[in-house]
Amino acid sequence: MDKIREKNRLVMEIFSGIAISMLIILLTTYFPVFGLFMALILPMPILYFRLKLGRNLGALIMFTVFAMTFVATELFSGGGASGITGSLQDASDKFSISIDLLFYGSLLLTGFAFGECLELRLSIEKSFVYTVISTLAICSALFFLYALSTGQGVVSIVSDYISDNLKLTLTLYENMGMSQESIEIIENSIEAIKYVLVRMLPALITTFLVFVIWVNTLFIKKILTKKGIYLAELKNLNQWKAPEHLVWVVIFLGLLMIIPGKNVKIVAFNCIMILMPIYFFQGIAIISFIFERKNFPPLLKVSIYIIIAIQQILVLGIIGLGFFDTWINFRKIGILNNSDRQSLDG
Domain definitions of the chain by residue range: 1-231, 236-346
> Which of 239, 215, 256, 206 lies closest to 39, judged by CA?
215
The pLDDT assigned to 334 comes to 55
DSSP string, 228-277: T---GGGTTGGG----TTHHHHHHHHHHHTTSS-HHHHHHHHHHHHHHHH
Average pLDDT, rounded, for the chain: 83
The pLDDT assigned to 79 comes to 43
Compute the distance between CA of residue 189 and CA of residue 164 in angstroms, rounded to an integer. Answer: 14
Whole-Å CA distances, 184 to 41, 170, 189, 192, 238: 36, 9, 9, 14, 46
Confidence band, pLDDT 50/70/90 cuts, at residue 279: very high
**Residues 6 or more apart in contact with residue 339 via CB below 8 angstroms:** none
The string of pLDDT tens digits covering residues 79-94 is 444 444 443 344 344 4
